[in-house]
A and B are shown apart, each in its own frame.
Chain A
Amino acid sequence: MSLTLENVTQIVDGQYYINQANLTFEPGSFNVLLGRTLSGKTSLMRLMAGLEKPTSGRVLMNGIDMTGVSVQKRNISMVYQQFINYPSMSVYDNIASPLRLAKESEASIKDKVMEIANMLRITPFLTRLPLELSGGQQQRTAMARALIKDADLVLFDEPLVNLDYKLREELRIEMRELFAQRNTIAVYATTEPNEALALGGTTTILHEGQIIQTGPTAETYHSPCNVIAATLFNEPPINMINGNISKNEVTFDNTVHFPLTSELNVLEEGEYQFGIRPSHLSLLPKNDDDLEMSVQVEVAEISGSETFLHVRNAHFQMVLHLSGVHRYQVDEKIKIYVPTHKLNVFEKGGKLIQSSSRKIEDNYHG
């Protein structure tokens, strides 16, 4: 089954919750909705599910107009951030409940419950009550219930937020594997860029009720279509610097001047915004035409294997994402290097003009 949103708009009390959304999700696809809190992710999912009716526009399933058809008449499952289970039923009965509603035979129910419980590694807990389980196990129970009925569309609304970091890492992989074998459309809302990247599939970036960009996840990350997409889809946040290009130099923030490099002299003279990913900055020059900047250290956040170095000059702040442990004193003066071929150049406040010329390799998923 495919799902299409056609010019879907939702207005509540004069406020645009969703503004002219157009999207198509293919059968068997895994789709991430990425956006900050209140960007419209939940609203969009409720419209997809039929829990809300759009103010205008259509929701199509397999090409058939389903706008206004209630959620009960669609084959849909939802998993929420707060795990919802029936507290008085055993884990087994919780998982079995959608099939019992559909009046399936107990024999067939048993097979299916065992299969999904096995996949989600909750078989040992089937006779327990949900509240006797850990948070991760409870969420897996809720997921098992959502997955058991072979829904056409499964909606996940930040399902892993309340779980341990490690458990999230494991459940993400499980989910990817689970959906790889199915024809179901999965939609997964998250606020975290790194989670979107880990989930793969396609990513749709939402901001203030509008779809900013949609496409294969890695491609969307590497080629953000505008300043908003670049800002939302990077962790730590991408460094954005206003600047301009004149006949023979590029200037950051009216203060830092560099001679024009071959990468940048194809651009017309004018004002731009330069997006520099924290991971592309370095402490040593790597290319002949790297731009050298003098900065002061604000603070170094050092994990066991990486350093997030926050620096500033008189005019702007930047963060560098470095491999390894680098210790610095606060206010220490250092030089950093910007590779010009990795700059994302945007129209001021607007769309991408020149992407980092890095070639996106053929990454294949097995």
Chain B
Amino acid sequence: MAEIHLKSLAHSYDTTANPPEYAIRQMDHVWHDGGAFALLGPSGCGKSTLLNIISGLLVPSEGDVLFDGVRVNDTPPQDRNIAQVFQFPVVYDTMTVFDNLAFPLRNMKAGTAKINTKVREIAEILELTDVLDKKAANLTADEKQKVSMGRGLVRDDVSAILFDEPLTVIDPQLKWKLRRKLKQIHEKFNTTMVYVTHDQLEASTFADKIALMYGGQVVQFGTPRELFEQPNHTFVGYFIGSPGMNFLEVERCDEGVCFGNTIFTLNNAEKKALQHSKSTNLKLGIRPEFVHVWDKPNDDAFETKVEFVEDLGTYKIVTLTFAGVSMKARLQEDQQVPQHTAFISFPEQWLMLYVDEFLVAKESDYE
């Protein structure tokens, strides 16, 4: 197990280009030993490039990769002591499940007794005990993926296990099972795990910390809760949450910021941040989950038109027009949706101010 340090790391596929084009723009991150991390982002954001740099398939053009403080830039993948699980399960079809799981241990010349104990322990956890004697070719897709994972887990010495979209080809019902298994395994073994996905639910349920990537950069590195509650960039607000955050383009006014005739007051930290900036790119953001919807007017609520309601089973999404701008509110299954006209309010705690697309923290940095 290892701590992974990405030190002043950057990568360009073409170092001769002028100006250089970066697939990974310079970053510095320390991923603590035993943590569960997710690299999340849209396709083309650089998450696979970053994973390949960690695994050693790619040598970064700038900066270093350190495992427990040791520079591994030039160490080939097979010498980095990492296990990898890919989108498509990699199993040896002609071998039994037992032999598949035993393979990494036999390569290390482990003793028969040790192999036996370890393989059975892992098989038990992954619920593969009943199929240990089966040929891998005869397994279902999710069983094969469990074998792939199991091969990563049998070794005690792995620095990290890297997962590259491991659940993409698995049916939804089984996805739930496998995801839960993975979580339990992490809680039991505390191996450093890095999980690449474009699925926010997979990332947020698996990881202690998510690196949300966009355009070769980690735009936010934080707990799933931080990404949800305090998105530090409008892209995070948009990408996390379903649907993403609502944004209102606002202007400066004496009392704070204005959206048409509607005035939103700001707290001191936000006011100070505005004073320090000349930008006119100002937005207020609020998550659909935090928009309060009423059927009658009240002092804090704004009148909106109900455009349509989507019943998504466990919850509903209401699309509303507020002063010409479309907004979404997420309601519980049992909550009544007002017809035609709804009144909405924004709890101050959840209304975020963005200047030039970056969050202004509710607590002041200017004290």
Contacts and interface: CB of A to CB of B under 8 A. Distances in A.
Interface of A: 36-37, 134-136, 161, 163-167, 169, 191-194, 197-198, 200, 217-218, 221-222, 231-232, 234-237, 277, 279, 298-299, 301-305, 308, 310, 319, 321, 323, 325, 330, 358, 361, 363-366
8 contacts: A163-B43, A221-B313, A237-B173, A308-B205, A323-B332, A358-B334, A363-B310, A365-B309
Interface in B307-363: 307-314, 316, 319, 332-334, 336-337
B313 A366 contact: no
Interface in B107-164: 141
A175 to B, nearest CB: 14
A299 B183 contact: yes
B319 A366 contact: yes
Nearest to B336: A361
Interface stretch (B196-204, B265-273, B276-284): B196-204
Interface stretch (B6-14, B21-29, B240-248): B240-248
Nearest to A199: B310
A197 B176 contact: no
Contact of A193 (B172, B206, B238, B241): B172
Interface string B286-323: 01010000000000000000011111111010010000
Nearest to B243: A169
A135 B176 contact: no
Interface residues of B, number: 52
B324 to A, nearest CB: 16
Contact of B205 (A166, A192, A302): A302
B225 interface: yes
A37 B170 CA distance: 9
B172 A235 contact: yes
**8 nearest interchain CB pairs?**
A304-B228, A366-B308, A303-B204, A301-B205, A304-B224, A218-B311, A279-B314, A164-B198
B313 A304 contact: no
B255 interface: no
Contact of B313 (A134, A232, A234): A234
Contacts of B201: 303
A231 B311 CA distance: 19
Interface of B: 42-44, 141, 168, 171-173, 176, 179-180, 183-184, 187, 198-201, 204-206, 223-229, 238-244, 287, 289, 307-314, 316, 319, 332-334, 336-337
A36 B171 contact: yes
A191 B176 contact: no
Contacts of B141: 37
Contacts, number: 118
B171 A194 contact: no
A57 to B, nearest CB: 28
Contacts of A165: 198-200
B228 A192 contact: no
A200 B313 CA distance: 11
Nearest to A235: B172
Nearest to B176: A236
Nearest to A221: B313
Contacts of B183: 299, 301
Nearest to B42: A164
A232 B244 CA distance: 27
A303 B337 contact: no
Contacts of B200: 165, 303
Given A235-B173, A298-B180, A303-B205, 12 more contacts: A165-B199, A169-B242, A218-B311, A301-B206, A304-B204, A304-B225, A304-B229, A305-B225, A364-B308, A364-B309, A365-B309, A365-B310
Most buried by B among A135, A136, A305: A305
A304 B240 contact: yes
Contacts of A166: 42, 198, 238-239, 244
Most buried by B among A161, A191, A302: A302
A134 B43 contact: yes
A277 B229 CA distance: 27
Contacts of B337: 361, 363
B307 A167 contact: no
